[in-house]
Structure 1
Amino acid sequence: MEFSDNTQTQLQNQPIVSVVIPTFNRANLLPRAISSVLAQTFSNFELIIVDDGSTDNTAEVVNEFADPRIRYIALSKNGGGSHARNQGIQLARAEFVAFLDSDDEWLPKKLELQLARLQSSDDPHATIVYCLGYEYYESVQRKKLPNLIAHEGDVFNNLLRGWLPSTTSLFLAKRSSLVDVGGFDESLPSFQDYDLWLSLAKANNHFLAVTEPLIIRYFHGNQIISNLSANLTGFQIFENKWGSIIKQRLGYKAYRESIGLKMSIIQVNRVGKAVDAGQRFLALRYTLSLLQFLPMSGTYILSGLILTIFGRTMFGRRAQENLAKLKSILTKRINKDEIKS
């Protein structure tokens, strides 16, 4: 597999990569994402911005970038992130598709190093390459690099156990592989990326990794991760879709741990919402519901109790940072299980 990057002929030739940015009412954040794509050291790409029914000045923001590689697609109504990404996949003209959330940014060598990793691989089934990424928590102005074991090859069982590169912004994939599995499942209001990587891995698409951080993912509150209803609904659909496969391939214990850890994070978020609404008994009920997932939920039970008793004064003034700590605990637990297996 050989990739060229001739900027003189890129407009005449097919692009090597189609970059898809879905966006909805993020005119204030979108310029950072667009600029990070245009600053890539590998320049033979097209940038497809799918405006998912925005009502702000997104179109004006995009028009300020005078770059012929940009294609702006305005959808007539909001259909959700999965729908917007699928539209981008359908419109893509390149062999490879890379995703970038409109509130994230890439570092300059992201595409160059991912394509180089694909080119250097002798695995005929390798169609997906991901990288590591920084996480930036805007409320506390803190950047961190999460722990992640960089699995390669057939990663289906790893994904079933709960291993997951955390955002679509990390990934570049062969377009034909995305099309073959039907793209993103639009019935899922959350867990869409996890579901897609599972579908790809199940279809014998192998993963490759660039083991250095090439993106920055921003946490700022206006995201699906903070939408409790979407997380609960998505979790239920996801569990119905993949739960039986986890049991069959990994056993009931692994299924319980995988489901329990995901549910624990959701429940701690529910505790915080209930405390904010002054419903401390409901918060306690959510916390105690985690007892069914012992021992893997012990840390989350403690966190839920602290939230319930002390509210935001001790736990929530730095809520995003504390949620980052919870996520770090989850990652370490998953990594420990991966090493054992």
Structure 2
Amino acid sequence: MPLVSIITPCYNSSKFLKETIASVMNQTFTDWEWLITDDCSSDDSVEIIKSVNDSRIKLTISTENKGAGHARNISLEKASGRYITFLDADDFWAPEFLTEMISFMQKEQAEIAYSNYARCNAELIPQLEDFKADKEVTFNNLLKTCRLSLLSSMYDSQRTGKEYFPEGSKREDHVMWLNLLKKIPAGKPLPKTMAKYRMHSNSVSRKKQDVVKDQYLVYKDYMKFSTLKSLYYTANWAINGFFKYSKLFN
């Protein structure tokens, strides 16, 4: 079995997919499997993936579009690696990402680890200061802001078990990390920039005003908090989110 399972949802990602594939193929650590679930793309994403002749790439083609969380869950079901990590079909890893993360997790005996990542435009040109992995992440501090980004994080499924994404929530990654952190004391930071995140102007994560309700439901429906407690954490999340991207508003 491979040591690492990489989980990727793909939907109409042909514009950036070749760069993402190259970033995985260029990894200095090679004991991985890459589970890609195509979420009913209408472009040539599937053809691009199939053109790569590598048995470590395992493609599942969904016949119905059900969103990124569902696509990730399909891949997670089939994942056999001890270490689970995520890469969306338009993001990018430094060649040493897997090597550095696995070495760090083993040295620190970490169940979850996360690194810095660069916040870039569509051409992968940095637009903001790198997002810093500068503190341990706990269940309590992750309630106020989601410091764990899928593309720069990894967890040890042998110690935590697999954690699936809630389907139907636009904040499914935050719920998933919170559920994982209920099981362990803390996730540990690797203060190196190991990934590049494309900030699309039309992405769900950038339209904060449209997802406040969805964030509230993270606390109310998934964490089972009271209304008052849910509003408190939603307000904290909104304030922290503004400062996270404040330069974009200046």
Match of 2:115 among 108, 120, 131: 131
What's the counterpart of residue 22 of structure 2?
35
What's the counterpart of residue 165 of structure 2?
184
Please give the per-residue CA displacement for 1:123-175, whole angstroms capped at 9, x wherever unaligned. Answer: xxx321111100002489544333535223x611211232523x211111123
Which letter maps to 2:237?
A: K
CA contact (8 A) 2:34 2:56 kept: yes
Match of 2:90 among 103, 114, 121: 103
Aligned ranges 1:186-265 → 2 under 5 Å: 186-189=167-170, 191-204=171-184, 206-226=186-206, 231-240=211-220, 241-242=222-223, 244=225, 256=232, 258-263=233-238
Normalising by structure 1, report the TM-score. Answer: 0.64
Larger helix percent: 1
Residues 52 and 178 (structure 1), Cα distance of their counterparts in 2 relative to 1, 3 Å cut: farther
Which letter maps to 1:175?
A: S
- Secondary structure of 1:33 counterpart: helix
Instruction: Indicate the structure (1 or 2) with the bigger Cα radius of gyration.
Output: 1
1:155 aligns with 2:138: yes
Q: Aligned Cα RMSD in Å? A: 3.1
Question: CA shift at 1:71, angstroms?
Answer: 1.0
Which letter maps to 2:134?
A: A
CA contact (8 A) 1:127 1:205 kept: no
Please give the per-residue CA displacement for 1:38-66, whole angstroms capped at 9, x wherever unaligned. Answer: 11110110111110111111111112212
Q: Percent identity?
A: 23
1:68 aligns with 2:68: no
Which letter maps to 2:235?
A: G
Matched residues, number: 248
Unaligned runs of 5+ in 2: none
1:324 aligns with 2:245: yes
Which letter maps to 2:128?
A: K
Question: CA shift at 1:229, angstroms?
Answer: 8.4
Residues 213 and 51 (structure 1), Cα distance of their counterparts in 2 relative to 1, 3 Å cut: same
C-alpha distance in structure 1 between counterparts of 2:135 and 2:249, whole Å: 18
C-alpha distance in structure 2 between counterparts of 1:115 and 1:137, whole Å: 28
What's the counterpart of residue 17 of structure 1?
4
Residues 222 and 49 (structure 1), Cα distance of their counterparts in 2 relative to 1, 3 Å cut: farther
- Secondary structure of 1:161 counterpart: coil
CA contact (8 A) 2:115 2:133 kept: no
What's the counterpart of residue 116 of structure 1?
103
Question: CA shift at 1:243, angstroms?
Answer: 7.1
Unaligned runs of 5+ in 1: 1-13, 267-299, 301-321, 330-341
Larger RCO (CA under 8 A, 6+ residues apart): 2
What's the counterpart of residue 66 of structure 2?
79
Normalising by structure 2, report the TM-score. Answer: 0.86
Which letter maps to 1:262?
A: W
